[in-house]
Amino acid sequence: MRISKRLAPLARRTAVAAALAFAAVAPLAGAHAAQPEQYFPLQSYRVGPYAAGGTGFFGGFIDYMNLINIRDGGVNGVKLTWDECETQYIVERGVECYERQKTHVPGPSAWNPLSVGIAYAMIDGVTADRVPLITIDHGRTDSTDGAVFPYVFPLLMNPYSESSGIINFIGSRLGGDAKLAGKSIVVLYHGSPYGRETVPIYKLLAAKYGFTVKQIEVPAPGTEQESEWLTIRRISPDYVVLRGWGVMNPVALKTAQKVGFPADHIIGNVWSNSEEDVIPAGDAAKGYIALTTQATGTTYPVVQQIEKVVYGAGKGNLADKSRIGSVYHNLGIVNGILNVEAIRIAQARFGDRTLTGDEVRWGFEHLQLDPARVKALGAEGLFHSINVTCSNHEGDGYVTFQQWDGAKWVRISDWIAPDWALLRPIIEASANKYASEHNITPRDCTKETVASN
Amino acid sequence: MSSTVLERTTTTARLPRSHGYWGPAVVLAIFALIIPQIHSDYLFDAILTPFLAISLAALGLNLLTGYAGQVSLGSAAFMAVGAFAGYNFLLRVPGLPLLGGFALAGLTAATIGIVFGLPSLRLRGFYLAVSTLATQFFVQWALTNISWFSNDDTSGVISPPAMHIGSLSLESPVRRYLLCLGVVAVLTFLAMRLVSGQTGRSLIAIRDSELAARVLGVKVLRTKLFIFAVSSFYIGVAGALWSFAYLRTVEPDGFDLDRSFEILFVIIIGGLASIRGAFLGAAFIVVLPLLLSRLGATILGPGFDSGLVDLVQKIILGALIIVFLRVEPAGLSALLARLRFPARSEQ
C-alpha cells in the first residue's frame, strides 16, 4: 500500500514526461507519415558520346514518374522522388554516384544505371545493400537466374534472348529456320562488355541452325569502321547483325552504304534501334531494320497522357518535345511502368508506405503484367507483357522488328518469342559458375524471404 | 638554354633531403589514425581509395617521367596488366595471400615494362612517347581478345574474389582504404629512399643530359631499364588496388588512353620530379571534380539538369588548371614550397 503511494508521484511524472515526449515527436512522425516517398537514384548520362540514349531514357523514366505523381498523387499516396547523378557512361563515375546516392534517406528503391559496365561494378554492392538493380533490355545474361543473382533484374529481354529473337527473325525473312543452314551472318559488335556479351550465344545459334557466323569487334566508341566494313564486303554475308551503341550506329550505316552493303540486310539490336541512330545516317539508313521491345510513336494512351499532363504542366523532361514517343523515350516510359508496378505489387503485400529495397525486390519478383494489365496501364501495343519470377528475372519479354522508312519507324513483324528453352540451360550453367567462383549458395526459389533492411 | 640548366641544377641540389621524412610521417599518421574515425562509406569508397590508387600510379610515372625524363603514355596499360595479373594469380594459385598477389601483379607489370622500355634505349622525347602508345594498344588488345585472361567471361569483365589478409576480411570500406594506404605508404617510402640516393641522382643525370651522364660513369642502359621496371611495378600495383579495392571489377576498357593521359596530367599539375606532386596532382584531378560536382548538386538542388552541372564543372576545372600552371609552371608541389618558403624561392 505504502509503496504504491510512494510510487504514485513517480508514475505521474513518468506519464507526463512520456506524454510530453510523445507530443514532441508526434508532429514529426505525422509530417513524415503524411508524405511518404519512394526514392529512385538515377545514374543518368546527359553529356558524352551516349547522351542521346541517356537523355531519352532517363527523360522517359522521369516523365512517367511525374505522370504518376501529378495524375495519381503518387503510388497509393506514396510520392515518387528521385535525383540525378551524371555518369557519362563511365564506370568509375557510376560507382561514385552509387556511393553518393545510396546514403539517401529513405534508401533507394531500385537502381537503373542503363550501363552494363556500371551494373557489373554494382552487383556486389547492391547484393550487400539488398536493393534491386534493374538492367532493362541489357545486362549480364546469367543474372536472369534469380537464385544466384537475387538483386539483379535484366527485365524484358536479356542479351541471349535478343540474339535468339534476331536469328528467328532472319529465319522468317528467309522463309523458315531451316533456310538458315549454309547462310552467312556477320555480327558487328561494340567493343565493350555490353557488346561482347553475346559472342558465345551467336556461336551456339550458328551451330544449332547451321549458318556460319563471323563476329567483328568495333573499338569503342566506334567512329572509325572502314576496315571492319571492308572485311564485311570481302565476306559478303547474307545478313549483318549490328550490335552497336551510340555513335557507332550511324557510322556503321554510312560505312555500309560506302562499301555497298544493302541497309535492309542489316538487322540492328535493341541498342541500335533509335531515331538518334538513323537520322544522322541520312539516306544510308533507309530500309534498315532493328529489333525493339517497345513500339515507337505517340499513339499509346500512356504516352499521350504524358504529353498532355506532364508536358502540359511544363514539367516535361525532354528539352526537345519532338522526341516524345521516340525509341529511347518510350523505353524510359516502359522502364517507369515496370518500376512503378513493382512498387504497387510490393505495396499490396507490405502496405502503402515507403518500402525497403528488399521489399521492392519482392515486388519485382512478382512483376506479372499480362496483356490485359498492360492495356489497363494504357500501354497496349507499347510492349507485350512481362512475367518475372524468383528464378526468372528476365520475365519472358517479347520482341518485335521495325524498319526505318526514311522518316519514321514502321513495325514489320508481330511480337516474337525468343527461344527461351534453348537458352535457359546455358544461363543456369553460367550462373552456377559465377556462384562457385564467388562462394554463393544459390537460394531456394520455392521459399521466399524478405529482409526489412 | 643556360637558364634551363640553372633551373635544373637548383632542383637537383634540393633533392637529397635526409630530414624530409617528418612531414610525410605526420600526414600518414593523420590519414591512418584520424581519418578512419570518420563514419562515411562515401569518403572511403568514392574519394580516398581511388585517390590513393591514382596517386600510386602517378608516383610510378613520376619516377619514370619526372626523374628519369622518359615520357610514357602507357601507364593505363601497366595498370591493366597489374589488375589482370593480380586477378589471375589469385584465381589460379590456390592459397596465394592477397599481398603476394599484388606483388606478383607488380612484378608482371615490371616484366612487361622492361620489354616495352627497350625502345627507350634508342628513342627520346616525343618519339619515345609514341612508342609507349604501342603498349597501350597492345595490352588492351591482348586482354580483350585472349579470353583466358578474363577466365573466359563472356563480357570480358571479371570481378575479383573477396579480399582478406589471413583471417581478417577486407570487405568494409575503411579496411579497403587502410589496405590501400598501407601499400601506398610502404611504396612511397621506398620511392623516397630511391630518389634521394645514388639512383635518384643517376636518373636526374640521365634526364638532364644522357651524354654527360655517360661521361660521369652512369650506366645509362641499365638505369633506364631499371627505372622502367620500377615504374611499371608501381603502376601495376596501383592497377591492382584500383580494381580490387576500388571498382571491384576489372575490364580492359577501364584502362584506356584517357587514363594514361589522366596520370600524365596528374604529375604535370602536381609537379614533375617530386614525390608529393603525385599526391597533390591526384587530389586535384581525382578529388576536386567530385567536390565540385557535389557542390553543384547541393547548390542547385536535385531537380537541376545534371548534364549541365557536369559541363560547368569541366569548365571550372579547366580554368583552374590554366590558373595554377600560370602561377607556377612547375606544379602544385612547387607552389606549395613557395608558399612555405617565400624568401628562399626568390633567390
Mutate to test the interface with B, among A92, A129, A217, A426 (most CBs of B within 10 A): A92
- Residue A86 in contact with partner chain B when CB distance is under 8 A: yes
Q: What pLDDT score was predicted for residue A166?
A: 95
Question: Hey, of B157, B286, B300, which one would you mutate to test binding to chain A, going by the most A CBs within 10 A of its CB?
Answer: B157
**Interface contact A46-B253, CB threshold 8 A:** no
Residue with cell 525493339: A292
Asked if residue A123 is part of any domain, the answer here is: yes
Closest approach of chain B CAs to the CA of A45, in angstroms? 7
- Mean of the pLDDT values across residues A312-334? 93
Q: Give per-residue pLDDT as tens, A262-273.
A: 999 999 999 999
Interchain proximity B42–A103, CB inside 8 Å:
yes
User: pLDDT value at position A29?
Assistant: 42
Can you say how many angstroms the Cα of residue A188 is from the centroid of all Cα atoms in its chain?
22
Indicate whether A277 and A351 sit together in one domain.
no
| A147 shares a domain with A45 | yes
Q: Return the C-alpha cell found at A54.
A: 541517356
Q: Is the pLDDT of residue A138 over 60?
A: yes
Interface confidence, given as ipTM, is 0.78
- Which residues of chain B does A54 touch, with a Cβ-Cβ cutoff of 8 Å? 307
Assess whether A185 and A125 both reside in one domain. Answer: no
Q: Burial code of B15-38, b = ≥16 C-beta within 10 A, e = fewer?
A: beeeeeeeebeeebeebeeebbee
Instruction: Give the per-residue pLDDT at B22.
Output: 82
Do A287 and A353 lie in one domain? The reply is: no
Q: Which residues of B touch A198 (CB under 8 A)?
A: 154
A71 and A85 inside one domain: yes
* B45–A88 C-beta distance less than 8 A: no
pLDDT tens digit at each of 347 positions of chain B: 333 333 443 444 444 454 578 888 888 999 988 888 888 888 898 899 999 999 999 999 999 999 999 999 999 999 999 999 999 999 888 888 999 999 999 999 999 999 988 988 888 888 888 889 988 989 988 888 788 888 777 677 777 877 888 888 888 889 999 999 999 999 999 999 999 999 999 999 999 998 999 999 999 999 999 999 999 999 999 999 999 999 888 888 889 888 999 999 999 999 998 999 999 999 999 898 888 888 877 777 766 677 777 788 888 888 988 888 888 888 888 888 888 766 444 43
Residues of chain B by 3-state class (helix, strand, coil), percent to 5: 80, 0, 20
For the four alpha carbons of B5, B9, B10 and B12, in that order, the dihedral sign comes to positive
Confidence check: pLDDT of A362 > 50: yes
In a domain, A81, yes or no: yes
Work out the percent of chain A whose per-residue pLDDT is above 70: 91
What mean pLDDT is reported for chain B? Answer: 85
Structural domain span for residue A427: 37-157+299-307+328-387+422-437
CA distance B119 to B133: 12
Q: What is the reported pLDDT for B298?
A: 79
A176 in the same domain as A135: no
Task: Using DSSP bridges, classify how beta strands A266-268 and A239-243 pair: parallel, antiparallel or unpaired.
Answer: parallel
Residue A119 lies in a domain: yes
Q: Do B251 and A103 touch (CB under 8 A)?
A: no
- φ, ψ dihedrals at A41, nearest 5°: -80, 125
**pLDDT per residue as tens digits for the range A201-224:** 999 999 999 999 999 999 878 888
**Do residue A287 and residue A173 come from a single domain?**
yes
Among A234, A268, A292, the domain boundary falls at A292
Number of A–B residue contacts, CB under 8 Å: 100
Assign A26 a pLDDT band (cuts: 50, 70, 90). Answer: very low
The mean per-residue pLDDT over the stretch A358-362 comes to 95
Q: Which pLDDT tens digit goes with each residue over B310-347? A: 788 888 888 988 888 888 888 888 888 888 766 444 43
Do the Cβ atoms of A193 and A116 come closer than 8 Å? yes
Residues near B208 by beta carbon (within 8 Å), at least 6 away in sequence: B5, B8, B12, B69
Q: How far apart are CA A289 and CA A278, in angstroms?
A: 10
DSSP A281: G
Residue A264 located in a structural domain: yes
Q: Torsions phi, psi of A324, nearest 5?
A: -60, 130
The structural domains of chain B, ordered by start, are 44-345 (1.10.3470)
Asked whether residue A360 falls in the same domain as residue A432, the answer is: yes
Within a domain: A233: yes
- CA proximity to B224, closest of B131, B116, B73, B108: B116
| Same domain (yes/no): A197, A279 | yes
**A407 within a domain of the structure (yes/no):** no
Cα distance between residue A13 and residue A110, in whole Å? 46
Residue with the three cell numbers 563514419: B39
Give the chain A residue nearest B49 (alpha carbons).
A96
Nearest chain A Cα distance for residue B71, angstroms: 26
Q: Which of A248, A264, A292 is the last residue of a domain?
A: A292
A35 has a pLDDT exceeding 50: yes
Q: Please give the Cα distance from A284 to A256 (Å, whole number).
A: 8
Crossing angle of helices B220-241 and B98-117, in 10° steps, is 140
Nearest CA distance, A99 vs chain B (angstrom): 5
**CA–CA separation, B314 and A247 (whole Å):** 22
Residue A12: predicted pLDDT:
58
Decide if A433 is inside a domain.
Answer: yes
Q: What is the pLDDT of residue A23?
A: 45
- Do the Cβ atoms of B216 and B205 come closer than 8 Å? yes
Beta strands in chain B (DSSP E): 164-165, 168-169
Per-residue buried b or exposed e for B321-335, using 16+ beta carbons within 10 Å of the residue's own CB: eeeeeeebebbbbbb
- Domain assignment present for residue A447? The answer is no
Domains of chain A: total: 2
DSSP state of A309: I
- Band (pLDDT 50/70/90 cuts) for residue A9 is low
CA-to-CA distance for A364 and A344, rounded, in angstroms? 10
Pair A268, A215 in one domain = yes
Count CA within 13 A, CB hemisphere, residue A257: 14
Q: What's the pTM?
A: 0.82
- Each residue's pLDDT tens digit, A216-245: 999 878 888 999 999 999 999 999 999 999
pLDDT at B188: 95
Whether A320 and chain B come into contact, CB under 8 Å, resolves to: no
Q: Are residues A84 and A164 in the same domain?
A: no
Amino acid (1-letter code) at residue A62:
I
Tens-digit pLDDT profile for residues A400-444: 999 999 999 999 999 999 989 888 998 999 899 889 888 889 998
Cβ–Cβ < 8 Å for A387, A396: yes
pLDDT for position B341:
66
Q: Look at A139 and A365; give whichever has higher pLDDT.
A: A365
- How many other C-beta atoms can be found within 10 angstroms of the C-beta atom of residue B195? 21
Same domain, A105 and A179: no
Chain A CB contacts of B46 under 8 Å are 95-96, 99-100
Q: Which residue of B has its CA nearest to A435?
A: B161
Task: Say if the Cβ atoms of A197 and B41 lie within 8 Å.
Answer: no
- Residue A219: CATH number of its domain: 3.40.50.2300
Beta pairing, strands A368-369 & A409-411: unpaired
Task: Assess contact for A227 and A255: CB atoms under 8 A.
Answer: no
Of all residues in chain A, the percent with pLDDT exceeding 90 is: 72
**Would the pLDDT of A260 be above 70?**
yes
The pLDDT score that the predictor gives to residue B51 is 95
Q: List CB contacts (< 8 A) between B293 and chain A.
A: 86
Contact call for residues B52 and B177 (beta carbons, < 8 A): yes
